[in-house]
A and B are shown apart, each in its own frame.
Chain A
């Protein structure tokens, strides 16, 4: 797939899709354990979308299916109009992903890793150069840090490099699974600001977190997943007061369900 191909298809498709992330009737089981039971979810362009739920509710499975680490048993997932099963490469080229545990090639230096990721997305050299410099400064990583092997990094530094790698190709959709774990307060603030700015620039952010304050602070909408389906969808733009009571709403959801 060449760069031209991606661009052409993006231009054609961009007018066709309504939701950058569109999940319809997704089912997923592990053996006899039915984890996702017909999950439906639409994420709008230009919003920060929060996805919360207790442990084992199906958050990670949903994200894994969206980014292609797992295959749903039935149902469809589209990212920027591309079906993840039918056109996986086009779908993958539209998002950047940060997992809950910072995962990178530890034998590489930070620079080598970013070079690898940029090459995987067929980036144009000039875009890479400008994005690299912007992100390096944003996440406060020095040249020395970037020339050091990732296996020598602290948890926080690894997380910063993974965040950089997820954004280096300037994706349409930014998917983050528990992104704030291990970050120091300075970078935490930078990240929170970046999530908001990213959405304000017309891109889409999909984030899961156990940190209710973070979700309440930055998200436009929040979905609460319970027992494999979305049990509650809150729009903070329509109901701004709910930002204050998100934790209570979250607990009530599970109490209501008798869990």
Chain B
């Protein structure tokens, strides 16, 4: 029974994947390439930092390894916790399984097993290469390799316990914040800030690994010393890895590893079982307190009410709060972090390239600004899919299609434009980009935003199956192609030594060309697409 339930979880998680053999094969190949890339990058980074840390003090590379492994375990548990929340507290699942004669313990066991298998796989891909690299560098014996391969099996057990606790925390927290848009929005901003900072940290580490031969900057001797002193708190990674390198204390370290793992599993299973029975087995959600609205209900004219509806769809839907709104707010901060780090990396490490192609940096900066702006905007440009089932309301209310489409495209365009303008000003004020790059980035960015928003609506109206996932991919691809095209222009002109202003001119012309079809007969075209669009 448990095996069948695990299989059901697997099938459910893969429900959205492509079904044709070609797309499946392509998906697998892309995944393998992605995993291989991540493994190569982390091994390269660790290898470079290892040499530097060993110069600082012997043993600091081991502490650093423990820190990375511990970080991987925590991040993995957080992600698994999020997944576990969906797996454990899924409403539909509960509705179907709740009526079948399956015991709660079987259900929980199957779900826990599924999470465990996923954790073992990802640990095997992320942690084992690091352990093997370390063993190769330290020239350890075969026992170390065997235990390295067993690492995911043991540590994932601890991770599962942790994930289960996290899943309950997420579920409880989600229930509290679900009904408060402002809290959701603040949380989303916090989340994106944290991701920006992690990204900056990884970029800086990458820079450290590339530059010079000693530790400096973020990996200061003080920090390395601090990491070495803190390793014993990296439970149970510290004990498992110490068991590998310390022959004398093998038995106590083994006991401590198993003890912590068991404790984590017990706490996780008990917490999630209690939560599962409480949340999943018939607890009724409490309604929110209703705010007494004293505002008189006013009928609005023109497209004001349509604009308000679009605004509500973006700002009051948790899907968009996390995927678009928060990113939009954080885009200037994100652009600043990435572009300033990028400038430092390019100046510090590929100075020769800059000597030969002086305009390459402005081109790269522009590429980054455009990529962030258009990629973030692309997540909100499928305005028809955003309606979900309520798209039928759009179809039967007596409002001209042009008006509806205008309202749909205007809101994300305005929001994305504000974010783009703030990003460019912030970069200009902090001297990360020059005036000319700012102006051209603004023009090109605006053109791409307008283009993707209007094209997104056309895609959406033409897709009878409302396959927003597929459409999202096409639109995101478009959002990436346009900035890359601009960069290619910049790069080619830089290579051929033509004046930089000429490349700027070409980019502006390209931007205008991109949106020019929108000025010709677009109202009638949209009208036709709208009338042809079928719902249901």
Contact surface of A with B, Cβ cutoff 8 Å: 1, 60, 64, 67-71, 85, 88-90, 92-93, 97, 99, 101, 103-109, 111-112, 114-125, 128-129, 132, 143-144, 147-149, 152
Residue of B nearest to A169 (CB): B398
Tell me if B's interface is mostly helix, strand, loop or mixed.
loop
Q: Which residue of B287, B300, B392, B532 contacts A115 across the interface (Cβ within 8 Å)?
A: B300
Assembled-state Cα–Cα distance A104/B390 (Å): 6
Please provide the chain B residues from 293 to 322 with a CB less than 8 Å away from any CB of chain A in the complex. Answer: 293, 297-301, 304-306, 308-309, 312-313, 316-317
Could you say which residues of chain B place their CB within 8 Å of the CB of A67?
A: 395-396
Which listed residue (A108, A114, A119) contacts B300, Cβ 8 A?
Answer: A119
B534 interface residue per 8 A CB criterion: yes
**B38 within 8 Å of A (CB atoms):** no
Q: Is the CB of A90 within 8 A of B297?
A: no
B97 CB, min distance to chain A CBs, angstroms: 21
A71 and B299 form a contact (CB under 8 A) = no
Cα–Cα distance between A217 and B298 once the two chains are bound (Å): 38
Encode contact with A along B364-392: 1 for CB under 8 Å, 0 otherwise.
00000000000000000000000001101
The one of B291, B389, B393, B399 that contacts A147, using a Cβ cutoff of 8 Å: B291
Whether A148 and B300, one on each chain, are in contact in the complex, defined by CB atoms closer than 8 angstroms, is: no
B299 near A152: Cβ-Cβ < 8 Å: no
B312 touches A69 (CB 8 A): no
Please name all residues of chain A whose beta carbon is closer than 8 Å to the beta carbon of B521 when the two chains form the complex: none
CB B252 to nearest CB in A, in angstroms, measures: 54
Interface status of B255 (Cβ within 8 A of chain A): no
Q: A89-B399, A103-B390, A105-B312 are in contact. Are A70 and B534 (CB under 8 A)?
A: yes
Q: B19 at the A/B interface (Cβ < 8 Å)?
A: no
B395 surroundings in chain A (CB, below 8 A): 67-69
Chain B 283-296: CB-based contact to A (< 8 A → 1; otherwise 0): 00001101111000
Q: A69-B395, A89-B400, A103-B390 are contacts. A128–B312 as well, Cβ < 8 Å?
A: no
- Is the beta-carbon distance between A97 and B396 smaller than 8 angstroms? yes
Known: A152-B287, A152-B288. A119 touches B398 (CB 8 A): no
Please tell me if B397 contacts chain A, counting CB pairs below 8 Å. yes
Query: B390, B398, B536: which has the most chain A beta carbons within 10 Å?
Result: B398
Complex Cα spacing A68 to B308, Å = 24
Contact A124 B299, CB 8 Å, known A64-B536, A89-B398: yes
* 22 residue pairs A–B, Cβ–Cβ below 8 Å: A67-B396, A69-B395, A69-B534, A71-B534, A93-B398, A99-B392, A104-B393, A105-B309, A107-B312, A108-B316, A111-B297, A115-B299, A115-B300, A115-B305, A117-B397, A120-B306, A120-B398, A128-B297, A143-B292, A147-B293, A148-B287, A152-B288
Sample of 9 more A-B contacts, CB < 8 Å, known A104-B393, A122-B301, A147-B292? A60-B536, A64-B535, A68-B395, A71-B532, A89-B399, A115-B300, A125-B298, A147-B291, A148-B287
List residues of chain A with CB within 8 A of the CB of B313: 105, 107
Are A148 and B290 interface neighbours, CB within 8 A? Answer: yes
Interchain CA distance A67-B396 in the complex, whole Å: 6
List chain A residues, Cβ under 8 A from B397.
92, 117, 120-121
Q: How far is the CA of A70 from the CA of B291 in the complex (A)?
A: 39
With A64-B536, A132-B297 as contacts: A144 and B290 at CB distance below 8 Å: yes
Q: State A11–B235 Cα separation when bound (angstroms).
A: 80
- Of all chain A residues, which has the CB nearest B292? A147
Tell whether A88 pairs with B531 under 8 Å between CB atoms, given A111-B293, A128-B297.
yes
- A115-B297 in contact given A88-B531, A105-B309, A148-B288 (Cβ < 8 Å): yes
